[in-house]
Amino acid sequence: MRGFQDKVWDRLYRSHTLKNVPNAYIFSGPAGSGKESLAIQFSKILNCQNPNKFGCDNCSSCLRILQLQHENLKLIFPLPAPANNSSSPGNLIDSKNIELVTKLVAEKSKDSFFKIKVPGSNRILINSIRDLRKSIYLKSDNLGRRIILIFDAHLLSMGQGEAANALLKLLEEPPKRTSFILVTDQINLVLSTITSRCQSISFPRLDDEFIFEWFSSKISNIDEVNFFVGLSDGNIHMAKKLILFQKQELVDLINDLIKVLLSKNSSMWRKFVQTYSKLSKDDLGMFLFHLTLLKIWFQSTNRLVINISHHLHKTQLKSGMERFANLYKNVDYLGIVSEVEELKNALTQNLFMPLSLTTFLLKIQRKINIK
């Protein structure tokens, strides 16, 4: 499947046809913009036996790349550190995790938008880079180009940053016919000594047209499609989460959240603070999902006020946005969006959630200008 990130693809394809593929790329841009997917497809055309713009998807090389099983393709992603008393000393992955990792990679091969997330993994292990070092300078009889894909590359610098330093050494003496593709949503967290050795390719969010087609292939009701596209905000991961809900559930969820934000009722606040403190511990992904819905609602309302169209304006959420815009005339929309982002950061910094949530409500009310 193609039809997303066409401009980025044209640029990559051109470097391939000009035989001008660098030793290292860094693909960066917002979450869910198709960076990993495109990196896999690029590896495919670099090794396809019947060169054409998108890879033939038929030769043995294409098939093996699509299965993520090609000897020219190496995947590196965050893994949990093996326990010291590991049953399989010297191995990269604890034996109990091998099955899971194999399953996740298989999932990724079926759906290149699938995000590999091994529970308990918060960094790229130094051993992953050491393993790579052992094999990377060996001669290979394979034609084509060896590709090392490093997903969540910002997690190279976690801890003491040993993985980042080890990778840097490889980038300094790159093997022949080899390209590294580092992929990250947070390029600001990647060491500048690494980024400076990579050709930077920045990805915009996905086009609404692409997300629209994605939903249209799964849902027939056009109102619902517009609704889901509007809330996806060009993020395929968000789209996949949204489709697990009924439209009405999401409408109610958003309306309830807005109601709390506009309320002065102390018992409503208390309940909000309790519920979301708990959710932040029990299901972080769901917590962030709710915040994202809130952010998109405010962004869309802002667009309504300044007359820029948005998919959500074609949905039943519009009337609520209009009511809001009529009631509150001096809203600092950008300020609200950055407060939502700040609350997300509070989570990563392990701040005391009940306090962060109460402060959040107070700040939002000030930015809405509730008298």
Is the separation of the CB atoms in 121 and 78 below 8 Å? yes
Q: Give the whole-angstrom CA distance, residue 117 versus residue 77.
A: 9
Residue identified by tokens 């403190």 is 277
> Shortest gap between Cβ of 50 and Zn ion (angstroms)?
5
Cβ 11 to Zn ion shortest distance, Å: 21
Which residue lies nearer to Zn ion by CB, 40 or 343? Answer: 40
- Residues in binding contact with Zn ion, number by CB under 5 A: 4
Question: Which residues, 14 to 53, sit near Zn ion by CB under 5 A?
Answer: 48
Q: Which residues are paired to 179 by β-bridges?
A: 147
Q: Give whichever of 48 and 273 is closer to Zn ion, judged by the CB atom.
A: 48
Q: Which is nearer to Zn ion, 54 or 113 (CB)?
A: 54
Least Å distance, CB 339 to Zn ion, is 49
Position among 31, 56, 81, 250 found at the interface with Zn ion (CB under 5 A): 56
- State the nearest-atom distance from the C-beta of 15 to Zn ion, in Å: 18
- Piece of 61-69, 156-164, 280-288, 295-303 that binds Zn ion (CB under 5 A): 61-69
Query: Which of 54/245 has CB closer to Zn ion?
Result: 54
Binding mask 77-106 vs Zn ion (x if CB under 5 A, - otherwise)?
Answer: ------------------------------
In whole angstroms, the minimum distance from the beta carbon of 56 to Zn ion comes to 4
CB of 145 to Zn ion, least distance (A): 13
Whose Cβ is closer to Zn ion: residue 45's or residue 239's?
45
Q: Is 62 in the site for Zn ion (CB under 5 A)?
A: yes
Looking only at residues 201 through 240 of this chain, which bind Zn ion when binding is defined by CB under 5 A?
none
Specify the residue, 62 or 254, whose C-beta has the smaller distance to Zn ion. 62
Q: How many CA atoms lie within 13 A of 227 on its CB side?
A: 20
Rounded Cα distance between 201 and 349, Å, is 29
Angle at 283 between CA 281 and CA 285, to 5 degrees: 120
Judged by CB, which is closer to Zn ion: 56, or 243? 56
Q: Are 229 and 211 in contact (CB under 8 A)?
A: yes
Query: How many Å apart are CA 211 and CA 317, to the nearest integer?
Result: 19
Task: Work out how close the CB of 171 gets to Zn ion at its nearest, in angstroms, rounded to a whole number.
Answer: 28
Question: In a 10 Å sphere around its CB, with 0-12 CB exposed, 13-18 middle and 19+ buried, how is residue 330 labelled?
Answer: exposed
- Assess contact for 167 and 76: CB atoms under 8 A: no
150: β partners:
76, 182
Q: Could you tell me the smallest distance in angstroms from the CB atom of residue 44 to Zn ion?
A: 7
Residues 280-339 that bind Zn ion (CB under 5 A): none
Residue 2 CA, chain-centre distance (Å), reads 19
CB of 112 to Zn ion, least distance (A): 16
Residue 71 or 208 with smaller CB distance to Zn ion: 71
Q: Which stretch binds Zn ion (CB under 5 A): 33-41, 59-67, 100-108, 227-235?
A: 59-67
Question: Contact with Zn ion (CB under 5 A): which of 59, 158, 251, 325?
Answer: 59
Q: Which spans of this chain sit near Zn ion (rule: CB under 5 A)?
A: 48, 56, 59, 62
